A and B are shown apart, each in its own frame.
Chain A
Amino acid sequence: MSLLVLLLAFGVFLAARAQIAFALGLASLVYLFLFMPTVSPETIPQQMYAGADSFALTAIPFFVLVGELMNTGGISRRLVTFSHTLVGHLAGGMGVVELLASMIFASFSGSAVANAAGTGAITIPAMKRSGYPSGMAAAIESSSSSLGAIIPPSIPMVVYGSIAGVSVGALFVGGYVPGIVMGLGLAVVIGIVARRRGLPVGRRATAREVLAAARDAGPALLTPVLIMGGILGGIMTPTEAGAVGAVYAFLVARFVHREISLRDLPRVLLATACTTGVVMLVMTIATLFGWILAFEQVPTRMAEALLGGIRNPAVLTVGVVLFLLAVGTFIETIPALIILTPVLAPMAQAAGIDPVFFGVIVCIALTLGVVTPPVGVVLFVTSSIAKATLEETSRAIVPFLAVLIGGTLAFALMPQAVTWLPRLLGY
């Protein structure tokens, strides 16, 4: 009953167009006022503070900043050129070039949106020039950018790891195999779509051209090596690796490419703080909300009510994936992750599901929400770059979405396919 009031209040304030974070806060206030009047009001700021006071979450601005620096400092453009020399002659032409560039970008930065804005600004116009319709160009960019939060580093994985108490490094490594396999799946679909439309492919680049592009992109290409190498080698925590990666990306953009100056820094740093504020305001207030839920033992009760009968880990995982895909269509990845992780993680644990595997699957399923119509941030970004309507992009994305959802369900049924790599590397 009291729980119903909490969720109802949240829904009403959301519908009233309060920001998600404030809707959570207002629902919490209503609840505290009605059902927990003896709780000290100081609990509110205390819980909010506790939600932000984390060294692990400090990685978020760093992985955002790397993406910002890549886009400002000419790194994104070089990655696209490099991809072009590698795969421009394959079926799909510019579409496959875009996919590869997005996958490389994903190994620098932790966010699907930064990926879409960064590579999309260059590749969407190029795809359109080579004959892709606007909606199709936006759809290809959207679906490949969604890999941004699956291929490490990944901001959703940082959030999940810090809430569920799972090693962020292990989650990162767990993202490689699904990210790459789903990327290959997308490449096949792009090839088929392009062939059916008779879209041109580029000529094969000469070895000299490949080398020249590789040399140009080379210093930047060391960024993911530095980040993941530092984490896997046990030299740096993910947070530290993010900061070092950001400094390195800045040095490359400043001294090798000479495309960024100190004067750009205020704008880039402020944009980073802004994105961090968007993610973390929800985090701080959701911590208060979650504290109420935990106080009322909602996670345990809900898990029992929903899945009390399900003992089979595979059935449970697939059920969770379907549920999250539905949630992801109308709530953003990070807020959904923050609200649901405290409910889902204990459930998986009770069913004996590997925590790293489960975390990776949850992050993937929720990440796909950014590219599922009707409400997907990445779709908005790419459609506006491509000057396509949301309907055109939404229609064009269907085959790509089928690959991504099919891939997610397939991995949900094959825990070993996700966990062998983290195991191999000692997590």
Chain B
Amino acid sequence: MSGPGRAITRIEAAVGRAVEGITWVLTGVLVLLVSVNVFARYALGIGWFWAEEVTRLVFVWVVFLGSYVALRRKQHVAMDFVAARVPRRALPAFLTVTRLFVLAFLGVVAWSGIELVRTTLELGRVTPILGISAAWGYLGVPVSAILMFLEVLRETLVGEVPST
């Protein structure tokens, strides 16, 4: 494995472990938030007016971080009908070209996502119920894109060939 490949593999592994930790905690929080809110409404007779908004915020983060975790674990579906017919020796080059395009896409999403967060903060747009900045939700998009960029970059540098 080349020098940059090894370095990024180490970095990505550390980042990945940290994100996985955050992701399972948030998923647990999501379950508790919704179920405890039902309990509060019926058993205690109090509905938390903020529950739905917080639930959606947590869900959005579970989605965007979960997308990255799923990418690390090779769970996103791709079609093999052409790749399976590419000669073995040409496969790494074939995959690298595709990955460069994916990196371009993730780069655009990360950059435009950061722009969106910035303008949202500048305009001071807040959520209707909690009154916190709407940027807290939007932030999930660029964070996820940057994390996925890191993983695809690692695959590219290492020249990983998926097992089919």
Contacts and interface: CB of A to CB of B under 8 A. Distances in A.
Interface of A: 13-22, 25-26, 29, 41-42, 44-46, 48-49, 52-55, 57-58, 61-62, 65, 235-236, 239-240, 242-244, 246-247, 265-267, 269-270, 272-278, 280-281, 284, 330, 332, 335, 375, 377
23 contacts: A15-B82, A17-B78, A17-B79, A17-B83, A20-B78, A22-B105, A25-B105, A45-B142, A48-B141, A49-B60, A55-B55, A61-B31, A62-B31, A62-B34, A270-B27, A274-B75, A276-B27, A276-B63, A277-B63, A277-B68, A277-B71, A277-B75, A280-B63
A276 B98 contact: no
B30 to A, nearest CB: 7
Max count, chain A CB within 10 A of own CB: residue among B20, B32, B108: B108
Interface of B: 20-21, 23-28, 30-35, 37-38, 42, 52, 55-56, 59-60, 62-71, 73, 75-83, 94-95, 97-98, 101-102, 104-106, 108-109, 111-113, 115-116, 119, 137-138, 140-142
B27 A272 contact: yes
Contacts of A15: 79, 81-82
Contact of A18 (B21, B68, B78): B78
A176 B130 CA distance: 40
Contacts of A247: 31-32, 35
B32 to A, nearest CB: 8
A390 to B, nearest CB: 12
Contacts of B142: 45
B23 A273 contact: yes
A318 B76 CA distance: 31
A243 B95 CA distance: 40
A280 B32 CA distance: 21
A120 B78 CA distance: 25
A58 B24 CA distance: 15
Nearest to A17: B83
Contacts of B101: 13, 16, 18, 26
Contact of A61 (B30, B98, B113): B30
Contact of A240 (B38, B62, B67, B97): B38
Nearest to A20: B77
A273 B60 contact: no
A22 B102 contact: yes
A332 to B, nearest CB: 6
A269 B28 contact: yes
B90 to A, nearest CB: 13
A16 B112 contact: no
